[in-house]
A and B are shown apart, each in its own frame.
Chain A
Amino acid sequence: MITGNLKASYAADERVFDNPNKRAFFYASLLALAGMAAFANDYVILVACQMGILLIAVTGVNVVTGYTGLISLGHAAFVAVGAYTVTIFHTAFAGTIPDGMMALIAIPLAVAVSTLVGIIVGLPALRVKGLYLAVATLSANFIVIFLIEQEAFARWTGGMVGIDTPVPNLLGWQLDTKREMFVLIAALGVITLLAVQNLFRTRVGRAFIAIRDRDYSAEIMGISLLRYKLTSFAISAALCGLSGALFAYFYARILPEQFELALSLELVAAMIVGGMGRTMGPVFGVLVIVMVPEVIKSIFGVATGGVAGVAQLLAPLQEIAFGLLIVLFLLFEPLGLNHMADRALRALNRWPFAR
């Protein structure tokens, strides 16, 4: 039970971690991440890296869809742009730039390029109704994948068979183990979450929420709809680009089929399941979405004793599971796991008085 929750100044009231429990949670999480980097086994690290990469992308989708209310069904395109920018950069400039600098340039470059693509895609579509943005992002997804797959560009992109990815080198620190990648991914993940949280403590983030809730009222407050929608969309493209860059460095090889519509829908599912419009929502969402295939695999492994033909069923089962998650959460808990956790915590806070 929380007692003594007293604020003596506005500064104290405006803090994010405004009570000892939240502060403890934050430090404990950081400690846990550090502990994982040092002691967890390889499988856990692998899964954690996947979650981290996805988390940054889902946070991006959360900013544009959860907080600003703009439906986007093609954000995998921006992840793809980020990933391929990294590999193309390495292909083009390997040898001309010192190894230790490559990743330091490639990652911000990936973010910049995907932001640019995001602005190009978003600018026409954001002038009108939300549906147009949904279809425009969908179209962008198909077009980007199509271009990547073309033989004409295969020299740069590897075409349909994909392209090998380099090992990142940060000023001499070679991240050639998954464990080291985890450190980078975890650090960037935490920074992303904190930055997005900050966004919504200021006028920029508030403007996004205002646009979602009632856009004409936001206009009356002096918020230029086009500018802020574009900013929100650009932020989400940037975060997906960052996620893509990490994607490229993490997986040995990237293929266009990894960035198809299925990934976009996965991002949306994670956002909905976790909790739209909340900072920790993507964390919950990513935990569930990455675990679903693993859970299905183990259930099937147990139930069928490893029958060969079963492997074919895994992919469709996974798809159905994602779709069901979206549908069930929208029907029964539209605010996501985050909201469920909120309720549980609130009951806990009031214990023993909550009934």
Chain B
Amino acid sequence: MLSVSDLHLSFGGIRALQGVSFEATPGGITGVIGPNGAGKTSLFNAISGFYTPDQGRVTFEGRDITGLSPDRRAALGIARTFQNIALFRGMTVLDNIKLGGHTRLGANLWQALAYFGPARREELAFRAEIEERVIDFLEIDHIRKAPITALPYGLQKRVELGRALAMQPKVLMLDEPVAGMNREETADMARFILDVQEEFGTTILLVEHDMGLVMDICAHIVVLNFGQQIAAGTPAEVSGNDEVIEAYLGAAA
């Protein structure tokens, strides 16, 4: 489904990724972990298309997408959330989520200007769909008309997830979805992520620092450190791996 092979990425002197290769488990949840600065977000940005790797390939559904622009990749069905919440602050929750479905709607400029006709039909059908699939699903119906700026952090993250879901993506990349959340919010978010996987069969790629969450819901984990992949495997394998322990906790004295 989605795989990267031998990705190399550097910014001037900084080598962000040095030969990272892995495959995201189709229909499952794959975690990407590593200490700060390991290159996790750079990896996501390379998969999204914001950075072009110096070397290596990104493959999606058998097709090499390394040269595609971010919007083309989104059209193929790759969705993503951002570490620092990239919602559109000038819009309501509902509009943000509708925007997630941009690639699935087809009204052109003239149809949009006229509105009545194909554009309106499409909009109403889409609205009905996201109300069920996304808004009810994520339990955010009570805030759907609220402006983004009025929402607390946890709800914003959930809205961002909803926006990604509106795309009905084949691959969903979540960049630190529970950063800054307390136990209750984390549990809620974990539940939603699992629901997404079960209900829609989406392949999920997850970057996270919260080890509890990662170990609980990920079927497969990739560990990065200083841009290199130091381990990969099931949660049990990875948590017992010496190199991983050293990367996080330091070498034994």
* A interface, CB within 8 angstroms of B: 10-11, 13-14, 195, 198-199, 201-207, 209-210, 212-214, 216-225, 231, 235, 277
Whether the pair A231, B109 counts as a contact (CB closer than 8 A) is: yes
Our pick among B74, B113, B120, B124 for the contact of A220 (Cβ within 8 Å) is B74
B112 and A205: CB pair below 8 A?
yes
A14 engages B112 (CB within 8 Å):
no
Number of B positions contacting A (CB below 8 A): 43
A207 near B99 (CB under 8 angstroms)? yes
Q: Which B residues are within 8 Å of any A CB, using their own CB?
A: 48-50, 69-72, 74-75, 79-80, 82, 86-91, 95, 98-103, 105, 107-109, 111-115, 119-120, 123-124, 127-128, 131, 163, 167
**B86 — which chain A residues lie within 8 A by C-beta?**
214, 216-217, 220
Q: Is the CB of B99 within 8 A of A210?
A: yes
Contacts known (A203-B107, A209-B88, A277-B90); A221 close to B113, Cβ less than 8 A = no
Whether A10 lies near B113 (C-beta < 8 A) is no
Task: Quote the shortest CB–CB distance from A278 to chain B (angstroms).
Answer: 11
Asked whether A201 lies within 8 Å of B88 as measured between CB atoms, the reply is no
CB contacts (< 8 Å) of B74 on chain A: these are: 219-222
Contact A10 B124 (CB under 8 A): yes
What's the Cα separation between A202 and B99 when bound, in Å?
9
Chain B's closest residue to A204 (CB) is: B112
Cβ–Cβ contact A219 & B70, under 8 A: yes
- Determine the chain A residues whose CB is within 8 A of the CB of B128 once the complex forms: 10
Q: A219-B74, A222-B74 are in contact. List 15 more A-B contacts (CB 8 A).
A: A10-B127, A195-B113, A198-B119, A203-B99, A204-B112, A206-B99, A209-B90, A220-B48, A220-B70, A221-B102, A221-B167, A223-B102, A224-B69, A224-B71, A225-B71
- Note all chain B residues with C-beta closer than 8 A to A207: 99, 102
Q: If A206-B99, A216-B50 touch, does A198 touch B124 (CB 8 Å cutoff)?
A: no
B234 to chain A, nearest CB (A): 30
Q: Which residues of B contact A10 (CB under 8 A)?
A: 124, 127-128, 131
B-chain residues with CB within 8 Å of residue A206 when the two chains form the complex: 91, 95, 98-99, 102
- Closest Cβ of chain B to A199, distance in Å, is 5
Q: List, sorted by A's number, 15 A–B pairs whose CB atoms are closer than 8 Å.
A: A14-B124, A199-B112, A199-B113, A201-B123, A202-B112, A202-B123, A203-B102, A204-B107, A206-B91, A209-B95, A216-B86, A219-B74, A220-B70, A220-B71, A221-B74
For A13, list chain B residues within 8 Å (CB).
Answer: 127
Q: For the complex, what is the distance from the CA of A291 to the CA of B108, rounded to whole Å?
A: 38
Q: How far is the CA of A225 from the CA of B72 in the complex (A)?
A: 11
User: Could you tell me if B88 and A217 are in contact, using CB atoms closer than 8 angstroms?
Assistant: yes
Give complex CA distance A214, B32 in Å: 26
Contacts of B71 in A (CB 8 A): 219-225
Q: Which of the listed residues B75, B112, B114, B167 has the most CB atoms from chain A within 10 Å of its own CB?
A: B112
Task: Closest B residue to A16 by CB, please name it.
Answer: B115
Are A202 and B107 in contact (CB-based, < 8 A)? yes
* Residue among A13, A14, A213 with max Cβ neighbours from chain B (10 Å): A213
Q: How far, in angstroms, from A204 to B131 measured CA to CA in the complex? A: 20
Q: How near does chain B come to A242, taking the closest CB pair, in angstroms? A: 13
In the bound complex, CA of A198 to CA of B114 (Å): 7
Q: Which of A199, A213, A220, A224 contacts B90 (CB 8 A)?
A: A213
Which residues of chain A are within 8 angstroms of B69 by Cβ–Cβ distance?
Answer: 219, 224
In the complex, the chain A residue whose C-beta lies closest to that of B48 is A220
A334 to B86, CA, bound (A): 23
Chain B residues with CB under 8 Å of A220's CB are 48, 70-71, 74, 79-80, 86
A223 to B103, CA, bound (A): 8
Q: How far is the CA of A92 from the CA of B119 in the complex (A)?
A: 40
Among candidates B72, B89, B100, B108, residue contacting A221 with C-beta atoms closer than 8 Å: B100
Q: How far is the CA of A214 from the CA of B91 in the complex (A)?
A: 12
* Minimal beta-carbon separation of A214 from chain B (angstroms): 5
The distance in angstroms between the C-alpha atoms of A90 and B79, with both chains bound, is 53
Enumerate the 3 nearest inter-chain pairs by beta-carbon distance, A residue then B residue, closest first.
A222-B74, A198-B115, A222-B103
Name the residue among A202, A235, A277 with the largest chain B CB count within 10 angstroms. Answer: A202
Point out the residue from B89, B108, B119 that lies within 8 Å of A213, measured CB to CB.
B89
Chain B minimum-CB-distance residue to A225: B71
Which of A198, A216, A217 interacts with B113 by CB under 8 Å?
A: A198
In the bound assembly, the distance between CA atoms of A202 and B107 in angstroms comes to 8
Q: Give, as a whole number of angstroms, the nearest-CB distance from A36 to chain B.
A: 26
CB pair B88–A210 under 8 Å, yes or no, is: yes
Residues of B within 8 A of A202 (CB): 105, 107, 111-112, 115, 119, 123
Closest chain-A Cβ to B220's Cβ sits at a distance in Å of 24
A99 to B114 Cα, complex, angstroms: 30
B113 — which chain A residues lie within 8 A by C-beta? 195, 198-199
Q: A224 — nearest CB in chain B belongs to which residue? A: B71
Q: In the complex, which residues of chain A have a beta carbon less than 8 angstroms from the beta carbon of B105?
A: 202-203
Considering the chains assembled together, what is the distance between the CA atoms of A235 and B131 in angstroms? 31
- Contacting residues, chain B, for A277 (C-beta < 8 A): 90
